[in-house]
Amino acid sequence: MATNDNTLDLSSLQTEAINMRANEIDKVSTLQMCTIINEEDRTVAASVTPCLQDIARAIDCLLPRVRRGGRVVYIGAGTSGRLGIVDSSEIPPTFAVPPSQFVGVIAGGDAAIRQAQEGTEDDPAAGMTDLMVLNLDPESDSVIGIAASGRTPYVLGALEYAKTMGCLTIGVVCVVPSVIGESGHADIMISPLPGPEVVTGSTRLKAGTATKLVLNMLSTGTMIRAGKTCGNMMVDLRASNQKLKQRSRNILRKLSKRCHCMTDASLDELLSRCEGSVKRALVVAETGLAMDLSTQRLQEADGDGSLRDITQS
């Protein structure tokens, strides 16, 4: 992709193309401007549809590793890195997994979360170094390299190192073909094509939205397959605030006939006995088993279907 040591040819990247539908966006009314942006955003979800088979394959590959306690490491620069950090930070409270299991890494370190550190993305060695400090376990850990342009050196270096280590590697990009895809460093490539941005090259827009949709599906799908929901109810949440406490009560009332008519106080007492675990409270309420036996049943079970079997037996 580089034409010489200092100049990059980005002309072939879909993310750098000029969007003719937004060519005069600076001349129209504010309402027209917003309409153009909105109409472009409507196309993003459809761009993910052709990637569903790859996303499903990635989930199926992530699942056994996550079940073994393996980490999922998101790594990227700029917007891509921040999106990885957002997704990784929201999984532990939603699905009660250890905070160390979903890890977000961004070029430039934590300072880059709030303030752009753009130059750091050009260093492939930095991507390798940032993964080395994590002491990756090739048998269990997985690395998701995120780069809208598909060519970010920092991400390329990280994926090359992770692949060499033997980890599962997944690339999330918004161009085809891509340097990452052609490098062979990613076991699975997920490449939505949301098309040119309303502001040329500003990949925090449609490419960022497409990336967010993909990451949402990867993490949520893996958690569903790991038995972290019953139906579409997040039975493994941890009630760390008032909203989540009420959601815990609502889930118990929805899924358990025995909990349906219980008062908030009674449900809170049940949850307290079960150390805040909605899933454990469901088993205790429906089966009448003691805490230790309920925990044992859950440990023996594997997935949503098994939880239903336990509570309905």
Contact 179, 1 (CB under 8 A): yes
Q: Is 121 one of the catalytic residues?
A: yes
- Of 207, 178, 218, nearest to 90 by C-alpha is 218
One DSSP character per residue, 220-275 reads HHHHHHTT--BTTB-TT-B--SHHHHHHHHHHHHHH-TTTTT--HHHHHHHHHHTT
Q: Is 300 one of the catalytic residues?
A: no
Q: From the candidates 121, 160, 197, 286, which is the catalytic residue?
A: 121
Distance CA 178, CA 173 (A): 8
Q: From the candidates 24, 39, 40, 90, which is the catalytic residue?
A: 90
Distance CA 271, CA 254 (A): 15
Question: Nearest-5° angle of CA 159, CA 114, CA 127?
Answer: 15
- Provide the β-strand partners of residue 41: none
Give the number of other CB atoms < 10 A from CB of residue 228.
Answer: 23
Distance CA 238, CA 278 (A): 8
3-state secondary structure of 106: strand
Give the number of other CB atoms < 10 A from CB of residue 40.
Answer: 21
Distance CA 306, CA 62 (A): 20
Contact 228, 77 (CB under 8 A): no
Catalogue the active-site residues.
90, 121
